[in-house]
Amino acid sequence: MGALDGIPADKDTVKKLDREHVFHSWSAQALIDPLPIASAEGSYFTDYDGKRYLDFSSQLVNVNIGYQHPKLIAAIAEYAQRATTISPAFANDARSEAARLICEKAGHDLSKVFFTNGGAEANENAIRMARLHTGRSKILAMYRSYHGATHGVIGLTGDPRRWGTEPHIIPGVVHFWGPYPYRSAFHSENAEQETERALQHLRDTVMVEGAQTIAAIILEPVVGTNGILVPPPGYLAGVREICDEHGILLISDEVMAGFGRCGEWFGIQHWDVRPDLITFAKGVNSGYVPLGGVVVSAPIAATFDQRVYPGGLTYQGHPLACATAVASITIFEEEGILDNARHLGTDVIGPELAKIADRHPSVGEVRGLGVFWAVELVRDRATREPLVPYNAAGADAQPMNDFAAACKQRGLWPMTHFNRTHVVPPCTTTEQEVREGLAILDEALEVADTFYTGSDS
Ligand code: PLP
């Protein structure tokens, strides 16, 4: 009998065991009905009834290289023959090379990698490093952000996922508003004004909090789950200036924006701004084996040359995960995957979504870059009233649920959040596949249009 023979082969057993024994994240356990997935390949996954879905979500926006990439699978099998686990206390060839490659891609003076198992742990360690390096305690983070679900970084998170942990979150976190031209917290009328006012708001926040108490500002260079909020020109450079003026560190949370999502290795490179710390996970190896980390600039790394860094993880720099990162980065280069992501954004998704917006009154705005796009749905273009309320659930969420069901029925797996659908397929998706997915989206948006109440419908 093979060691894997016990894995059930039929949908009903998979589902039954899931319901009995698997405790799912972010869910009321009795109210969910997870779809059992039988297989996946390229940009598609297939259920046990043989229904194939084109994945416009990349799972949790992490399968940047697509499913079952043959070269990546071969690399995992090859490295598994050599080493499956070596503790972080030893040096390991795959870990050394993964760290070198990631630093090379990060550029500037980012010279060392502290590996973790995922994004939340990366942010935990980035804020710990920032606090110890600066000797200051406060961390500034944005409203409309997500930084992970562990106890420390859920406090950084600026969305409803934080509420369930309150008030037991770590002290010393202050939230501020980032730019969002379509729903400006600053009532701006154009992108230039938005940059100016968002930066003034950040300066004011730093002033009243006391610059000398602030260790770091953490931000997603392009806000991901909370709306694919692409910063207006000059914003990130302005944040860097504020940091430099006050000795505050800039942490770029690239967990979702990195490794091709924005058409660059790291999203912040789109604006040529230097971070002091980068956190990454997801796309570094598309989750084929869990991996995350912090890329550390030389001065911060030097703080811990003679002083013990008080943190570590049993599976840190896991050899199989690191080998998968080396292989994934190599495949990205060999196959021009960053170019493909840029091409899809500039020549296909952007122009096609603009046409879709023209056809559907319920589309308030489309925005994005690379393979990182949002379609923001509204009841009324004039008032910009969202198609569903903020954090809608139950009956309030019905318009978005109906829209998502229409996509799924037609074989497209969408990523919906609040009143938006995100277009976030793997970076390896072909132009033809993207066009097919957008055609389905176009049809399904007719469902959203039925909830439109504006007078111009
Ligand atoms: N940071 C960002 C921007 C994310 O999108 C996520 C996950 O979605 C995280 C951090 C947390 O990563 P993980 O779920 O791997 O802990």
Per-position pLDDT tens, the chain of length 457? 899 999 999 999 999 999 999 999 999 999 999 999 999 999 999 999 999 999 999 999 999 999 999 999 999 999 999 999 999 999 999 999 999 999 999 999 999 999 999 999 999 999 999 999 999 999 999 999 999 999 999 999 999 999 999 998 999 999 999 999 999 999 999 999 999 999 999 999 999 999 999 999 999 999 999 999 999 999 999 999 999 999 999 999 999 999 999 999 999 999 999 999 999 999 999 999 999 999 999 999 999 999 999 999 999 999 999 999 999 999 999 999 999 999 999 999 999 999 999 999 999 999 999 999 999 999 999 999 999 999 999 999 999 999 999 999 999 999 999 999 999 999 999 999 999 999 999 999 999 999 999 988 6
Report CA dihedral (256, 258, 260, 262) to the nearest 10 degrees.
80
Strand, coil or helix: 380: strand
Q: Residue ranges of the alpha helices (H) in 211-287?
A: 235-246
Length, in residues, of the chain: 457
Q: Which of 110, 142, 122, 107 is nearest to 272 (CA)?
A: 107
What atom of ligand 1 comes closest to residue 61's alpha carbon? 8
For ligand 1, the distance from its centroid to the CA atom of residue 24, given in whole angstroms, is: 17
What's the rounded Cα separation, in Å, for the pair 190 and 192? Answer: 6
- The reported pLDDT for the residue numbered 343 is 98
- Provide the residue type at 104 as one letter: E
Ligand 1 neighbourhood includes 225 CB (under 6 angstroms): yes
| CA 368 from centroid of its chain's CA atoms | 13
Instruction: Tell me which residue has tokens 């990349």.
Output: 58
For ligand 1, the distance from its centroid to the CA atom of residue 288, given in whole angstroms, is: 16
What atom of ligand 1 comes closest to residue 118's alpha carbon? 15
Ligand 1 neighbourhood includes 120 CB (under 6 angstroms): yes
For ligand 1, the distance from its centroid to the CA atom of residue 240, given in whole angstroms, is: 23
For ligand 1, the distance from its centroid to the CA atom of residue 151, given in whole angstroms, is: 13
**Peptide linkage before 167 cis (omega within 30 of 0):** yes
Ligand 1 neighbourhood includes 293 CB (under 6 angstroms): no
Could you give the count of Cα atoms lying within 13 Å of 47 in the half-sphere of its Cβ? Answer: 16
Could you give the count of Cα atoms lying within 13 Å of 87 in the half-sphere of its Cβ? Answer: 3
For ligand 1, the distance from its centroid to the CA atom of residue 42, given in whole angstroms, is: 23
Candidates 57, 147, 157, 294: which one to mutate for ligand 1, based on the most atoms within 8 Å of Cβ? Answer: 147
- The reported pLDDT for the residue numbered 456 is 80
Candidates 255, 262, 266, 372: which one to mutate for ligand 1, based on the most atoms within 8 Å of Cβ? Answer: 255
Ligand 1 neighbourhood includes 224 CB (under 6 angstroms): yes
Which domains can be identified in the chain, with CATH numbers? 11-69+336-449 (3.90.1150.10), 71-334 (3.40.640.10)
Ligand 1 neighbourhood includes 223 CB (under 6 angstroms): no
Candidates 115, 256, 285, 291: which one to mutate for ligand 1, based on the most atoms within 8 Å of Cβ? Answer: 256
Which distant-in-sequence residues (6+ apart) come within 8 Å of 305 by Cβ?
none
Ligand 1 neighbourhood includes 253 CB (under 6 angstroms): yes
- Closest protein CA for atom 12 of ligand 1: 119
What's the distance, Cα to Cα, between the start and end of the chain in Å? 63
**Which is it for strands 412-413 and 52-55: parallel, antiparallel or unpaired?**
parallel
Structure tokens at 94: 């795959």
Strand, coil or helix: 123: helix
**Environment class of residue 359 by beta-carbon count within 10 Å: exposed (0-12), middle (13-18) or buried (19+)?**
exposed
For ligand 1, the distance from its centroid to the CA atom of residue 301, given in whole angstroms, is: 23
CB 348 within 8 A of CB 354: no
